[in-house]
Amino acid sequence: MAAVTPTKVDLADKFSQFSDHWAPRIVARYNDNEVRLAKAEGDFQWHSHADSDELFLVVKGRLTMEFRDRTETLEAGQMIVIPRGVEHRPRALDGEVEMIIIDPKDTANTGNPETATKAVEI
């Protein structure tokens, strides 16, 4: 089996390569996970992921994560892990947010492949 050479990822460079919101870009893979970058503005939809947890790490801006019973606000440098099955709605209400999202490979960002924006590699 051929060894893979580790390669650094320049987040600022990768974020500069796209401008659309709520459309994840895959910048790395490890084990069976995808490291995705996304820009956000406004509201995303209520959804959950039945089979996997989801990690959000805010790089720039302020992300509001709504749950049915409460709301968490994440600033740059803060993260949250959403357990599988927990309904949530990410919102970027104070301007554009840049974030890292870690999901198992091929996870639909809406929890439903029929309504998801497919993550593409950059």
Task: Give the start-to-end residue ranges of the domains of the chain.
Answer: 11-121
Dist. CA 90–CA 18, nearest whole Å: 20
Q: Which two tokens stand for residue 30?
A: 């490890």
Task: Write out pLDDT tens, residues 36-59.
Answer: 999 999 999 999 999 999 999 999
pLDDT reported for residue 118: 77
- Comparing 117 with 101, which gets the higher pLDDT? 101
- If pLDDT is split at 50, 70 and 90, which confidence band does 101 have? very high
- Comparing 122 with 17, which gets the higher pLDDT? 17
CATH of domain 11-121: 2.60.120.10
What is the average pLDDT across 12-20?
96
Dist. CA 67–CA 63, nearest whole Å: 13
Residues 32 and 107: beta-carbon distance below 8 Å: no
